[in-house]
């Protein structure tokens, strides 16, 4: 069966559509994470989701729903709490991460919850997406694109220097909290839909590659989307051709793009020095 023929299957069509959406929009969230040094937040959300899932299993409520709800509430609360405690969001994420993990394990142990069932919330599968999943990915992608388009200059100021954004009279806190909320929302939803492993492929790696070669924030957003799209589609294709796991293949392609960008930058800086 050829690659083109596989596109007749709904699961492949769904995967491709999800890659088109997530590939373009999610790397923009990666640019936020890298610029604001929020990598711990991504891990914190995974553990918050685990606790939500464990509570869901204990209460016999849909664990996915409760996991998502916990993530959304946490991402809304993290900004204001860090402000009150005068702690960076990164540090507070570490606190959330360890606390929620400990609570989840206590609950799993005491309530005799099947461990694999609880951890199931962390593992999605891009080849098993439903129409509803696609709508969710599409909506979040659209929200990210609209936010970046409408508030580009505010986002630029905050990513560059939050103190300067405040000093020039922008509502810096509001936008910072909005960024954290969107980040939490994206990670929470995509974790279930495309899996914890694939989040990095879509969110962080294309953004890392883009920052290596960009000379403006607009370029960073553009290249991160381009690389997200490229690694997603090429990864999906190669995973079919070589019969290897899709998530891992997408990550491998994204990693190769990073290596390529690094070599390009090195070449460009040598050329500048010689010139």
Partner 1 sequence: MHHSIELTDIHIHLGTVDVLLGVNIEAKPCEFISVVGANGAGKTTLLKVVNGTLKPFSGRVFVLGHDLSQYKNLNFLRRDIGVVPQKSNSDPFPIRVEEAVLMGRYGKIGLMRRPKRTDWEKAYQALEAVGIQRFSKKLVYELSGGEQQKVALARALAQEPLILLLDEPTTYLDQESRSEIMEIIHTIHHQRELTTLLVSHDDQLVEQYSDKIYLLKEGKGYLIK
Least distance between partner 1 and beta carbon 163 (Å): 6
Of residues 128 and 219, the one with the C-beta less far from partner 1: 219
Least distance between partner 1 and beta carbon 172 (Å): 9
Least distance between partner 1 and beta carbon 45 (Å): 24
Of residues 175 and 240, the one with the C-beta less far from partner 1: 175
Of residues 133 and 154, the one with the C-beta less far from partner 1: 154
Contact positions vs partner 1 (CB under 8 A): 35, 150-151, 153-154, 156-157, 159-161, 163-171, 211, 214-217, 219-220
Residue 188 tokens, joined: 């929470």
Between CA 20 and CA 139 the distance in angstroms is 13
Q: What is the dihedral of CA 41, 203, 207, 24, to 10 degrees?
A: -140
Cα 226–Cα 229–Cα 231 angle in degrees, nearest 5:
105
For helices 131-150 and 10-35, the axis angle rounded to 10 degrees is 30
Least distance between partner 1 and beta carbon 275 (Å): 15
Least distance between partner 1 and beta carbon 26 (Å): 20
Cβ atoms of residues 83 and 177 within 8 Å: no
Of residues 93 and 211, the one with the C-beta less far from partner 1: 211
Of residues 61 and 167, the one with the C-beta less far from partner 1: 167
User: 129 — alpha (psi -120 to 50), left (phi > 0) or beta?
Assistant: beta
Least distance between partner 1 and beta carbon 165 (Å): 8
Cβ atoms of residues 133 and 193 within 8 Å: yes
Of residues 55 and 158, the one with the C-beta less far from partner 1: 158
Least distance between partner 1 and beta carbon 92 (Å): 18
Cβ atoms of residues 210 and 149 within 8 Å: no
Helix residue ranges per DSSP H, 61-171:
63-85, 89-110, 115-119, 131-150, 152-160, 162-167
For helices 217-241 and 10-35, the axis angle rounded to 10 degrees is 140
3-state SS of 242-272 is CCCCHHHHHHHHHHHHHHHHHHHHHHHHHHH
Least distance between partner 1 and beta carbon 89 (Å): 17
Of residues 33 and 189, the one with the C-beta less far from partner 1: 33
Of residues 46 and 204, the one with the C-beta less far from partner 1: 204
């Amino acid at each position: 069966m050829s690659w083109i023929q596989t596109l007749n299957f709904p699961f492949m069509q769904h995967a491709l559509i999800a890659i088109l959406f997530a590939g373009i929009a999610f790397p923009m969230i990666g640019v936020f994470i890298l610029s604001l040094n929020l990598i711990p937040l991504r891990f914190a959300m995974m553990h918050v989701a685990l606790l939500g899932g464990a509570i869901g299993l204990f209460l016999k409520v849909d664990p996915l729903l409760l996991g998502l709800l916990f993530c959304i509430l946490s991402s809304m609360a993290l900004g204001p709490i860090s402000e009150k405690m005068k702690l960076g969001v990164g540090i507070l994420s570490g606190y959330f991460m360890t606390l929620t993990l400990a609570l989840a394990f206590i609950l799993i142990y005491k309530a005799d919850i099947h461990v694999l069932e609880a951890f199931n919330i962390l593992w999605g599968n891009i080849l098993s997406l439903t129409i509803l999943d696609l709508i969710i990915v599409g909506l979040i992608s659209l929200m990210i694109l609209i936010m970046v388009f409408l508030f580009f200059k505010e986002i630029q100021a905050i990513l560059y220097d939050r103190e300067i954004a405040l000093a020039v009279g922008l509502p810096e806190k509001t936008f910072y909290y909005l960024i954290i909320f969107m980040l939490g929302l994206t990670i929470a939803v995509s974790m279930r839909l495309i899996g914890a492993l694939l989040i990095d492929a879509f969110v962080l790696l294309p953004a890392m590659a883009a920052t290596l070669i960009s000379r403006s924030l607009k370029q960073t957003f553009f290249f991160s989307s381009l690389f997200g799209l490229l690694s997603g589609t090429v990864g999906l294709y190669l995973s079919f051709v070589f019969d290897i796991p899709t998530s891992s293949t997408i990550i491998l392609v994204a990693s190769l793009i990073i290596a390529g960008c690094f070599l390009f930058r090195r070449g460009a800086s040598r050329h500048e020095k010689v010139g």
